[in-house]
Amino acid sequence: MHNTSVKSVATKGIFWSAVDKFAVQIGQFVVGIVLARILLPEDFGLIGMIYIFIALSQTFIESGLGTGLIQRQSRSEIDFSTLFVFNLIVSSFFYLILFFSAPYISFFFNQPRLIDLTRILSLSLFLNAFVIVQRTKLTIAIDFKSIAKSNVIGMFIGGLCGIIAAINEFGVWALVIQMLVSSLASSVYLWFVSNWRPSIAFSKRSFRSLFGYGSKLLLAGLYAQLLNNIYNICLGKFYSSTALGYYTRAKSFADISAGTIVSVLQQSTFPILASLQHDKEKLISIFSRMIRMSAFLVIPIMTLIALLAKPIVILLLTEKWISLIPLLQWMVFSRVFLPMSSLNLNLLNAVGRSDLFLKVDLSKLPLTLLAMIITIPLGVKSIVIGHVVTSAVFFVLNAYLPGKFYGYGAMNQLKDMMPFCFAAIGMAVLVFMMTCFIDNLVLQLFFGVIFGPVIYLVISWLMKLEELNEIWKMFLKVKKDKNLS
């Protein structure tokens, strides 16, 4: 791939991936607000108790095989058929495990309602398994436009059904309906738009080859899911479902921005970085620009959310969620390094070093266990503060190998991030001075949301940050391509 074509493909890929993730996140955010105003924190806590089991099962189903196909330079039809058959077999296996384990899950959390909730929500495993190949083929083709449409359609239909169910007093089942309908609608669209149809063919040779790469990602994925959700288990076991509901909502709000940026970068940059894995100079040039662009976007967003946490929570979710405010303020700062950390790990996968990806992830276990031992007895707020500390350390660990192999490690990356930190601090000071004399929460939120980004962009312009021009050029490029088409 020539440098100009890489830039063009990267621009289109990142644009449509961004449309996908931000549209879905904004839609889910709106749906989540409506549902949170109708439902109770306890309802979200119950789903949080189940989610880790669904997430771990989904990781087993994917097993890194789809990522292996994306990373591979040559692929055959038997490879895709093998992936499809494997997905169906494993999804059936894990559904049966969850179905018969539901009473034990219910007993562990002392929540009788979890039996039926687990058995019904686990049906999403089948729906997702049916379209992994379609998503993989679209990702290889960098056709994020089709993926974006499927996700937006699923979000809209699922959200609408969930809201209708909540209004009709379905309680926690409204959340289950939302998730299942969303997966079903998205899957149907992908089957409709994709020209690939499965054949019941399975190649042991193809599977061994893909699993050789994907097995490391499987272990890393299982570890990551356990790491991300183990607090749900502990909170659900030792605290109330209401406390878990506050915690999961704080994570959800924080992930609206950082999590969306991570999804965009992982989906759109992986095939691009993989295509450049043999060109070190171009690889690091594009990778460093991705790091800077991520920091340019995520640092001010998280800072602004922390500043406006009180009006956001009270106005959007009502005062029954007021205990969420301090959790949200700390949680957003635990997500600041998330996009950059993910990019560092994505680089290792793109160059075919999934073994190193696994080693880096496993190296975080001792710190995670130490943080849990210290913070869990102290309460939910202490747990979230612990997330801030561990996320900073994890970033350094994730950036170690890119620094060792390519000379672009944590110190260089932090140096590139510093201008955005200064711009965000300037924005925070001015927004705080502007809103601290305003008692009306509506006006606080209005002035913060309107003037915060403007102040940040002005400071970025005064500091002559290149990323501001990059975004503008990207917008003009996409607009030009759209007009030509």
Write the pLDDT tens digit of every residue in 389-448: 988 988 888 888 777 777 788 888 899 889 999 999 999 999 998 888 888 899 989 989
pLDDT, averaged across the chain: 81
Question: Rounded CA gap, 199 and 67, in Å?
Answer: 20
Residue 270 lies in a domain: yes
Residue 33 lies in a domain: no
Measuring CA to CA, which residue among 264, 267, 24, 260 is closest to residue 151? 24
Question: Rounded CA gap, 259 and 147, in Å?
Answer: 17
User: 365 and 298, same structural domain?
Assistant: yes
- Which of the 8 DSSP states describes residue 170? -
Lowest mean pLDDT among 11-20, 122-131, 330-339: 11-20
Question: Rounded CA gap, 45 and 172, in Å?
Answer: 9
pLDDT digits (tens, 9 = 90+) for 245-277: 888 888 888 877 676 666 666 555 666 666 666
Q: Which tokens sit at 141?
A: 């083709």
pLDDT digits (tens, 9 = 90+) for 92-106: 888 999 999 999 999
Return the pLDDT at 4: 46
Residue 426 lies in a domain: yes
As a whole number, mean pLDDT of residues 109-128 equals: 90
Measuring CA to CA, which residue among 405, 400, 396, 417 is closest to residue 288? 417
Measuring CA to CA, which residue among 132, 115, 68, 122 is closest to residue 93? 122
Return the pLDDT at 428: 92
What is the residue range of 299's domain?
Answer: 240-485
CB-based contact 150:189 (threshold 8 Å):
yes
Residue 90 lies in a domain: yes
End-to-end Cα separation, the chain, in angstroms:
22
Boundary of a domain, candidates 201, 219, 238: 238
Q: Is the dihedral of CA 309, 315, 317, 320 positive or negative?
A: positive
User: 261 and 230, same structural domain?
Assistant: no
Boundary of a domain, candidates 223, 238, 253: 238
User: 176 and 137, same structural domain?
Assistant: yes
pTM, 2 dp: 0.67
Residue 34 lies in a domain: no
SS (H, E, C) 127-159: HHHCCHHHHHHHHHCCCHHHHHHHHHHHHHHHH
Residue length of the chain: 485
Return the pLDDT at 399: 84
User: 149 and 84, same structural domain?
Assistant: yes
Helix (H) or strand (E) holding 194: none
User: 270 and 231, same structural domain?
Assistant: no
Q: Which tokens sit at 93?
A: 């296996």
Question: Rounded CA gap, 117 and 51, in Å?
Answer: 11
pLDDT digits (tens, 9 = 90+) for 33-81: 899 889 888 898 888 888 888 888 877 776 666 666 666 666 677 777 7
Residue 114 lies in a domain: yes
User: 231 and 347, same structural domain?
Assistant: no
User: 280 and 165, same structural domain?
Assistant: no
Question: Rounded CA gap, 60 and 95, in Å?
Answer: 12
User: 338 and 482, same structural domain?
Assistant: yes
- Count CB-CB contacts under 10 A for residue 147: 23
Residue 18 lies in a domain: no
Domain count, the chain: 2
User: 416 and 304, same structural domain?
Assistant: yes
What does the radius of gyration of the chain's CA atoms come to, in whole angstroms? 22
Measuring CA to CA, which residue among 117, 376, 54 is closest to residue 236? 376
Question: Rounded CA gap, 408 and 428, in Å?
Answer: 29
Transcribe 402-424 into DSSP letters.
HHHHHS--HHHHHHHHHHHHHHH
User: 455 and 331, same structural domain?
Assistant: yes
How much of the chain exceeds pLDDT 90, in percent?
Answer: 19
User: 431 and 313, same structural domain?
Assistant: yes
Boundary of a domain, candidates 177, 209, 238: 238
pLDDT band at 483 (very low <50, low <70, confident <90, very high): low
CB-based contact 1:282 (threshold 8 Å):
no
